[in-house]
Amino acid sequence: MAVWFTSILAIVITLFTQVLGSGVFELELHHFQNSQGLLANGQSCGMGGCRTFFTVCLKNFQTEVSRGDCVFGSVTTPVLGTDSFSIQQDARLRLPLKYTWPGAFSLIIEAWFSPEADPPEGSTRPDSLISSFSIQRQLSTGHDWSEEAQSGARAALRFSYRLICQENYYGDTCSKICAPRDDHFGHYTCRPDGERACVAGWKGDYCDEPICLEGCNEKNGNCTLPGECNCRKGWQGLFCDVCKPHPLCKHGTCEDKWQCTCTEGWGGMYCDQDLNYCTHHKPCANGATCLNTGHGSYTCACLPGFTGVNCESAVRECDRRPCHNGGRCLDSDSGYQCACPKGFEGPRCEHKMLTCAEMPCFHGGTCRETDNGHNYLCECPAGYTGLNCEKRTDRCTVLQCANGGHCVSHGGVRLCSCRSGFSGPRCEVNVDECASGPCANGSTCIDRINDYSCTCPPGTTGRRCDRPADPCAARPCLNGGTCTVGAQGRPACACPAPYDGPQCQSAHLDPAPRDGMSLAAVSLGVGAVAALLLLCMVAVAVRRVRRQRSQQRDSEKMNNVSKADFQKENLISASELKNTNKMIDSVDCPSNKSNHKPLNHYQLDYKTRSGYKDEPSVLDKEENCEKPMEKTKQFSKTYSERPECQISTICSSRDSMYQSVFVIEEEKNECIIATEV
């Protein structure tokens, strides 16, 4: 409210001063010179001389000064002297301004003749004028005087002037007010430019806001005098930065005002409930365990033989007659025991014992009584186990897989999942990776668990020995000799002079150099090598053309075989035939195989002599990769000997690009697999 009132007051004062003004125009007349003692019209003032007084007119700025309304004020002096005279300093003239000082002015000073010592009324008749002086100037406020010297036709005048602001007014126009004060409405002094300068300890536009103690929390504290820090409700401390807990808080702290954060072991809205009553009071007796339940309460877990809120009373368990079905109760240190009659069991004799009369065995199990009829034993049929033959045995326990394979049950069928490199119903067959003849150029193939290796003959290299070896790679030629490949793939060295030998290892001295003969020999050798290379290229081209023609004839022969002949030869009807053509070259036969291969694409179910049925046969995917015709026939023959499954193999040229697998299912869950190679 005080700030609002102060602002309104300042605005009113400002507007008021702009209308009325607050400056003072001061004028000092120093010396007047009228040597002849004449009036402006040339007449003489008389025997007593020209007794002189002055009139001053301050008005707005005019380019050509003219007499008229004195806007800013006017003043008339008493008689100051006769003819020529100097004026004392105490004759200073002051013209208070009624309006805001515009910065520019016009000044008219006139000297008049007074017949008497005091100028009478109406003494400024035109015929009494001695002289008139006028100026137009720009003038700023300040305490410095501006001096002027004016000369007329008959007289001269020296004077000075200035414009100063009245007390508490500042600025070029004396319209800015600043009154020092030290009260409820402000605490400040005034600078030379009229701006307020706050007294130490105060701040704000009107210096009415105290500066609180340094470090005082502005959010939680305030002050009415400089250097204070008065805390708001809910806060305390020198700087009002410490919260106050709720007045009803008993065992708690706070992080904000009026909080009540309970310390450990206390709870409730005001932290007045003992949550750790057991530790503080230990109410349970006779070795009982005390448990805090919160809100200042607890419970006691009594040992056997004691009861009560604090387990203070001893009890006899048998008094409650806990034994059922005629059981006899016996007290003990740990509580009680029930001696059950025949045919009942349990801690309280609450369970009736089963005998063979109740037929407790499931799934056709045979019941046999034990312990003189107090107990029984179930003899379970094959495939079931458990106390009452209620559990089905794991079917995989009777299927033993070899070579690291493991048994899986899929849709009620037991299967052996084989490791890479093995196949067969029980993973007992080691797949021969050499059967497909992967090694070329007469190299020897060595079968491994899940891979093969080729022992290459001289002159070949690579994983399959299918690339010719470079005999010159070992650099057999010494002393700068040039290595070339001979007709049989052996290296030959062309030795520079004076070296010779198979590897240019010997040096000889030729007394008579024969450069012409050496050059001829080198030329002859180069020509022979070029001819040999040309013959080799022709031979390779002829062989490749013959192979392509042979493959075309085999393909045409294979395509001419009719489907009817195939069905007749293998005794398979057209409706039962399922043909799946696979391109051999696109079959992926990875070398790095996982420990177990995926389930096979087909299963062979047959009965074994051991008595269980539906035993699967698992064939690896890798058996169809580059497998020779003889191995395929032998494998098919092995399975065709079983009465439930037959495998028929149709053989064609090994160069055929496709193979067909025919899977035939018969009504007796038997399968016939025909493979077209």
In a domain, 50, yes or no: yes
The per-residue pLDDT for range 449-506, each reduced to its tens digit, is 778 889 888 778 888 888 877 778 767 788 778 888 775 667 788 888 788 887 787 8
The per-residue pLDDT for range 435-449, each reduced to its tens digit, is 888 898 888 998 877
Q: Structural domain of residue 302, as residue ranges?
A: 279-314
Among the candidates 176, 199, 227, a domain finishes at: 176
In a domain, 462, yes or no: no
Which two tokens mark 495? 């030795």
User: Which one-letter amino acid corresponds to residue 507?
Assistant: A
Residues 169 and 290 in one domain: no
- Give Cα 251 to chain centroid, integer Å: 42
What is residue 16's predicted lDDT score, i.e. its pLDDT? 44
Residues 298 and 161 in one domain: no
Residues 162 and 296 in one domain: no
Among the candidates 392, 420, 452, a domain finishes at: 392
The residue among 436, 370, 467, 376 whose CA lies nearest residue 627 is 436
Output phi, psi for 528, to 5 deg. -65, -40
Residues 141 and 29 in one domain: yes
| Parallel/antiparallel/unpaired status of strands 51-59 and 104-113 | antiparallel
DSSP structure class, residue 501:
S
Residues 304 and 363 in one domain: no
The per-residue pLDDT for range 276-303, each reduced to its tens digit, is 788 878 889 988 899 888 767 889 999 8
Residues 386 and 294 in one domain: no
Of the pLDDT bands very low, low, confident and very high (cuts 50, 70, 90), residue 588 is: very low
The per-residue pLDDT for range 78-95, each reduced to its tens digit, is 989 999 999 876 678 999
Which two tokens mark 20? 């009325």
Let me know: does 298 contact 283? Beta carbons within 8 Å.
Answer: yes
What is residue 210's predicted lDDT score, i.e. its pLDDT? 92
**pTM metric for this prediction:** 0.35
User: Which one-letter amino acid corresponds to residue 112?
Assistant: W
Residues 74 and 158 in one domain: yes
Among the candidates 158, 176, 194, a domain finishes at: 176
Let me know: does 391 contact 417? Beta carbons within 8 Å.
Answer: no
Q: Is the pLDDT of residue 159 over 90?
A: yes
How much is the average pLDDT of 608-635?
37
Output phi, psi for 435, to 5 deg. -65, -30
Residues 161 and 306 in one domain: no
The burial class, CB within 10 Å (0-12 / 13-18 / 19+), for 538 is exposed
Looking at mean pLDDT, say which of 174-178, 350-354, 531-535, 630-634 comes out highest: 531-535
In a domain, 110, yes or no: yes
Of the pLDDT bands very low, low, confident and very high (cuts 50, 70, 90), residue 56 is: very high
Of the pLDDT bands very low, low, confident and very high (cuts 50, 70, 90), residue 410 is: low
Residues 295 and 378 in one domain: no
Q: State how far the Cα of 632 lies from the Cα of 482, in Å rounded to an integer.
A: 51
Let me know: does 635 contact 419? Beta carbons within 8 Å.
Answer: no
Q: State how far the Cα of 368 lies from the Cα of 84, in Å rounded to an integer.
A: 165
- What CATH number is associated with residue 111? 2.60.40.3510
What is residue 424's predicted lDDT score, i.e. its pLDDT? 86
Return the percentage of the chain with pLDDT > 70, whole number: 73
Q: Is the pLDDT of residue 622 over 50?
A: no
Residues 168 and 27 in one domain: yes
Let me know: does 503 contact 481? Beta carbons within 8 Å.
Answer: yes
Residues 27 and 157 in one domain: yes
What is residue 326's predicted lDDT score, i.e. its pLDDT? 87
Higher pLDDT residue, 170 or 18?
A: 170
Number of folded domains in the chain? 3
In a domain, 155, yes or no: yes
The residue among 146, 30, 127, 40 whose CA lies nearest residue 84 is 30
Q: Which of 159-163, 250-254, 304-308, 641-645 has the lowest mean pLDDT?
A: 641-645
Let me know: does 149 contact 157? Beta carbons within 8 Å.
Answer: yes
- CB count within 10 Å of CB 659 equals 19
Which two tokens mark 434? 């050499």
Let me know: does 58 contact 73? Beta carbons within 8 Å.
Answer: yes
In a domain, 369, yes or no: yes
The widest CA-to-CA distance across the chain, in whole angstroms, is: 179
The per-residue pLDDT for range 543-587, each reduced to its tens digit, is 888 888 877 776 555 554 434 343 333 333 333 333 333 333 433
How much is the average pLDDT of 152-179?
88
The per-residue pLDDT for range 5-55, each reduced to its tens digit, is 445 544 444 444 444 457 899 999 999 999 888 998 888 888 888 999 999
Q: Is the pLDDT of residue 168 over 50?
A: yes
Residues 50 and 150 in one domain: yes
Residue with tokens 């932290």: 271
In a domain, 340, yes or no: no
For residue 412, give the 3-state DSSP assignment.
coil
In a domain, 167, yes or no: yes
- What CATH number is associated with residue 372? 2.10.25.10
The per-residue pLDDT for range 626-665, each reduced to its tens digit, is 333 333 334 333 333 333 333 333 333 333 333 333 333 3
